[in-house]
Structure 1
C-alpha cells in the first residue's frame, strides 16, 4: 500500500507544498507571499499560523483529510549542528525554534512548525530532513579568529545534496565517489564542499557573497560602527544582514528578474550591482576550491536564480578553471523531503531524535 506524504518547504517569500504517493507527486504547489504581506509580521516565527493555514487549506482544496497522511515532513532550519538525514519533530525542537534558543531566525525554521501543526491534528508523526545545519564539517573549518565564535555549517543542504546525488547518478556514479562544490543560488546563497559524500566545509549566507536578500560578508570595522551608531536597533541590524540586505537594500526588491531586466536595458546601477553579486559568488566558490586540493569533479550551480543566464554565465567565466560547471536550475527539495520520509517509514533509514 502506498504512503501519502505531505512535504512542506517554506522559503523567504514562498511556501512550497507537495503531496506524494510514496515518491510519486500527486500535486506540488508554490504559494507566493507578497513582501507587503510579510512585512505585517514582526518576526519569521510569527508567520507560523498564516503559513500552516495555507497548507491546511491546500489539503482541503484537494479533498485530503490530514488523517489520510502517513507522515508530514518539513524542511529543517537553522538549528544547532545536526547530522544529515531525518529527525523526529518533538516539543524540544519546537520550543527552541519558537523561543529562538540558539536558533538563528530563518524561513526554513517554519518547516518544522508547519509540519508539527498538521501532524498534531492528524495524530501522525512529523519529521524534518536534511536540515540547513546538517553537515560533517571539518573541525579545522570551524575555527575563527574569535575564540568565542565557532563557524558552524549552515547551507541549503536539502537541495544541494539532492542535486549532488542526481548529478552523480546521471554519470553512472555513486554520490560517495565524487568531489563537488555545490552553490545554491536563491534569496540566500550558500556554497558547500562535498567530498566523497560528506559536507566538509561551507560558506553560509551570512559570511560569503551577497545575494538578493542577504548582505553577505562586509568590512567588520565599518559594520561595528553601524551597529553602535545609534541609528539601528539590534533587530534592525539583523534584518539588514538577512532579509533586507543585498539586492533588496539597493533596489527595494529582491526580484532578480526585475533587476536583470533593468541591467539588460542598460541601467548602469542595475548592471553594476548585479555583476558585483556574481563577482562575489565567484569569489566565494573559488575560496573553497583549495579544500579539495584541486581535485574537484564539478561545480554545480542550482537554485532559483540559476535560471538566469546573465548570472550563471558571469559566474562560470570566473570559476571554469576549478572544474566542469554544471547548471541545474530550480530545486528538488520537495522530492528530497518526501523521499527521505519514505525511507524512514519503510525502515530503510533510522530517524534521529532531536
Structure 2
C-alpha cells in the first residue's frame, strides 16, 4: 500500500487529503482564524503546518508511513506542465514570492518543510504558471506587452486526463477544449497534451465571472477608470473582486441565480450572456486545432454545477465537438494522481531550473 499526502492551501483555508493506492481516505478543509490569515504568509506557514500535522495524526495516520507529498503549485517563473520535485531551489523561489504574493506558494513551502522533517519526497503538479503557449498566442498589439499563461492548469489538465482515461486513451493522444468556470473562467486548447492557447483568467481576460469583469473594450475600460479616479491597484481590485455577476446582479451566488432563471428577466439575460461569452471562448480555442478533429469539449469548475449555464453553453458549441460536464474542482484528485504516477514509475518527475 502506498500513502500520499495532498496539500492545497488557499488564502483562508488549508485543504489536505490522504490517498491510499489512489483512493481518498481523508479529505479535510481547515478554516483558519483571522489571527492566522492576516499574518504575512511566511509567518502563517509554521502555524498552518502545525495544525495539519496534528490533524493528520488525529485522523489515525503517521508521517512515517507517508510515501510522498503532493502540493498545489505556486507562482514561480513560467514552466511546462508536469510533475516537479519540490527541491531547495524551488522552495527558495516560492519563499521569496518573486513572481507574486499568493497563498498558493504556501503549499510547496509547507510540503518542503515536512519532507525535510520526515524524509519524504515531495512534488508539485501543473502549477498555475504552466506555460505551453504557441508563440503567436503571446502577441498583442502593443510592443513590449505580451500575453502570459496563467490559468487553472491543475484542474484543466486533471479533467482532460480523466476524460482520456475514460475513453481508453492517454492525455497526449486526445484533442480537447477545457473550460474551467469558477471564481475566474479560463478556456484552454489542449492539443496532444499541451495547452497551446488559453485566456489569462487571473488578469481578467475572457468571459465575465461571478466577481470578475472579463474582457472590456479598451476605450470604455480606461475611461471608466479615469472617470472614477482609480489607481491601477484600485482598478485591479475592482475588476477582479467587485464586477461580473456581483456588479450586474448584486450577488455572486450562482445557485440562487440559477433558481431565478426563466422567472426573472434580468437574471435570465445575464446568465445567457455569461454562457454565450464562455461559448465564444470555446469557439476561439477551436481555431487553434487548424481543423484537426476535437474529441471533446469539457466544462468543469464550480459553475459547471449549474445546468442553466452548461446547457446554455452546449447549445452554442455542440456542433464543434461533443460536450461533457465534470462539475466541481478535481484538484486534490489531480495532485494525488500525478504523484502516484511517479511512484508507479509511469511518469518521470522534472526539476525546476
TM-score past 0.5 threshold: yes
Question: Does structure 2 retain, via aligned residues, the 8 Å contact 1:85–1:130?
Answer: yes
Q: Which residue of 2 aligns with 1:174?
A: 170
Instruction: Give the counterpart of 1:281 among 259, 278, 282.
Output: 278
Instruction: Give the counterpart of 1:318 among 316, 319, 336.
Output: 316
Give, in whole Å, the separation in 2 of the partners of 1:328 and 1:124. Answer: 32
Q: How does 1:172-321 map to 2 (within 5 A)?
A: 172-205=168-201, 206-228=204-226, 231-250=229-248, 253-261=251-259, 263-264=260-261, 266-294=263-291, 295-321=293-319
Question: How has the CA–CA distance of structure 1 residues 220 and 61 changed in structure 2, closer, same or farther, with 3 Å as cutoff?
Answer: farther
Question: Does structure 2 retain, via aligned residues, the 8 Å contact 1:239–1:245?
Answer: no
Q: Which residue of 2 aligns with 1:341?
A: 339
Report the aligned-residue RMSD: 3.1
Give, in whole Å, the separation in 2 of the partners of 1:275 and 1:106. Answer: 33
Tell me the matched-pair count.
Answer: 349
Question: Does structure 2 retain, via aligned residues, the 8 Å contact 1:88–1:126?
Answer: yes
Question: How has the CA–CA distance of structure 1 residues 113 and 265 changed in structure 2, closer, same or farther, with 3 Å as cutoff?
Answer: farther
TM-score by length of 1: 0.85
Q: How far does residue 86 in structure 1 lie from its aligned partner after superposition?
A: 1.6
Which piece of structure 1 moves more, 122-131 or 49-58? 49-58
Q: Which residue of 2 aligns with 1:122?
A: 118
Give, in whole Å, the separation in 2 of the partners of 1:44 and 1:232. Answer: 27
TM-score by length of 2: 0.85
Give, in whole Å, the separation in 2 of the partners of 1:334 and 1:148. Answer: 37
Q: How does 1:106-117 map to 2 (within 5 A)?
A: 106=102, 108-117=104-113
Partner-residue secondary structure (3-state), 1:292: coil
Where in structure 2 are there 5+ consecutive unaligned residues? none
Which piece of structure 1 moves more, 129-138 or 221-230? 221-230
Is 1:156 aligned to 2:155, yes or no? no
Where in structure 1 are there 5+ consecutive unaligned residues? none
Give, in whole Å, the separation in 1 of the partners of 2:43 and 2:159. Answer: 31
Q: Which residue of 1 aligns with 2:329?
A: 331
Give, in whole Å, the separation in 2 of the partners of 1:203 and 1:175. Answer: 21
After superposition, give the CA deviation of every residue in 1:237-267 in whole Å (9 maximum; x if it has no partner). 3222334442244456533213323x33734
Q: How far does residue 341 in structure 1 lie from its aligned partner after superposition?
A: 1.7
Q: How far does residue 311 in structure 1 lie from its aligned partner after superposition?
A: 0.8
Is 1:133 aligned to 2:133, yes or no? no
